[in-house]
């Protein structure tokens, strides 16, 4: 067996599983349409948009979503922005997993999280939907809750009964400076996921923004 592998490597012959294991599907969750731009619920879109710009690639319209691709350190990254609306995200995720023949452990779902402070990153290998409709639909259609996800904190400063308005509301101007830095951090986490592995990425990127990444205004409590 080792001799066969040696011969294949000598002549540059790849195993059928080589590209299969080096492909990664990175899904940014959000809602399509200009009215959802700059909203908290669309942070998944913002992160993959930033990563596409960083890697100098563009999104193109495709079935059930917009797709961008790039290579980095021998890996193939496929960025997906589902165009099915948040509540039906699972349909797009399942389609592109099957089309590109990507194992579920090589998939990273990026979404917003009300339970985390603004800009905090929490990367996990599995977990429940936590009330997130996009994650719930993905879980239902894939038939499992065991898949990597990156939750991006959006805070929870809303009054009773105003959760939907808060989630679908736009980021405040004084939050933007910090967000730019944290979106860049999330982009780095995505690349780490594909090159350094999930555990190393969790150890290196999970946590809230540092003091230097937060603005003075962000640290002040808002008046009710």
Distance between CA 146 and CA 198 in Å, rounded?
13
Mean pLDDT score, 27-38: 96
How far is residue 77's CA from residue 194's CA, in Å, rounded to a whole number? 8
Assigned CATH for 15-215: 3.40.50.1470
Q: Is the dihedral of CA 149, 155, 161, 167 positive or negative?
A: negative
Catalytic residue among 23, 40, 41, 182: 41
Give me the percent of the chain exceeding a pLDDT of 90: 78
pLDDT of 16 strictly over 50: no
- What is the model's pLDDT at position 5? 52
Residue 17: CB partners within 8 Å, gap ≥ 6?
none
Residue-wise pLDDT for 167-185, tens only, equals: 999 999 999 889 999 999 9
pLDDT at 154 over 60: yes
Report pLDDT for 157.
Answer: 87
Catalytic residue list contains 41: yes
Q: Kindly list the domain boundaries of the chain, sorted by start residue.
A: 15-215
Contacts of 10 (CB under 8 A, 6+ apart): none
Nearest alpha-carbon partner for 119 in 17, 215, 202: 215
Average of per-residue pLDDT values in the chain: 89
Provide the pLDDT confidence category of residue 220 given band limits of 50, 70 and 90.
very low
Q: pTM of the entire structure?
A: 0.86
Closest C-alpha to 189, from 152, 221, 160, 155: 152
Question: Which residues does 199 contact at the CB level (< 8 Å), separation at least 6?
Answer: none
Q: Are 141 and 82 in contact (CB under 8 A)?
A: no
Cβ-based neighbour number of residue 90 at 10 Å: 20
């Amino acid at each position: 067996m080792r001799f066969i592998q040696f011969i294949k490597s000598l002549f540059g012959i790849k195993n059928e599983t080589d590209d299969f294991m080096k492909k990664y599907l990175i899904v940014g969750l959000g809602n399509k349409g200009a009215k959802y731009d700059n909203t908290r619920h669309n942070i998944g879109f913002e992160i993959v948009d930033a990563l596409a710009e960083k890697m100098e690639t563009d999104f193109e319209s495709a079935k059930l979503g917009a797709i961008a691709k790039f290579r980095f350190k021998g890996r193939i990254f496929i960025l997906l922005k589902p165009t099915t609306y948040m509540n039906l995200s699972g349909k797009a995720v399942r389609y592109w997993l099957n089309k590109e023949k990507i194992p579920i452990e090589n998939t990273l779902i990026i979404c917003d999280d009300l339970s985390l402070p603004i800009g905090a990153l929490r990367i996990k290998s599995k977990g429940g939907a936590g009330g997130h409709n996009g994650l719930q639909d993905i879980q239902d259609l894939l038939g499992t809750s065991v898949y990597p996800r990156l939750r991006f904190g959006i805070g929870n400063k809303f009054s009773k009964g105003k959760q939907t308005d808060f989630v679908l509301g736009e980021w405040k101007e004084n939050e933007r400076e910090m967000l730019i830095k944290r979106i860049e951090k999330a982009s780095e986490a995505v690349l780490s996921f594909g090159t350094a592995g999930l555990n190393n990425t969790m150890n290196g990127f999970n946590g809230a923004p540092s003091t230097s990444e937060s603005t003075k205004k962000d640290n002040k409590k808002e008046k009710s």
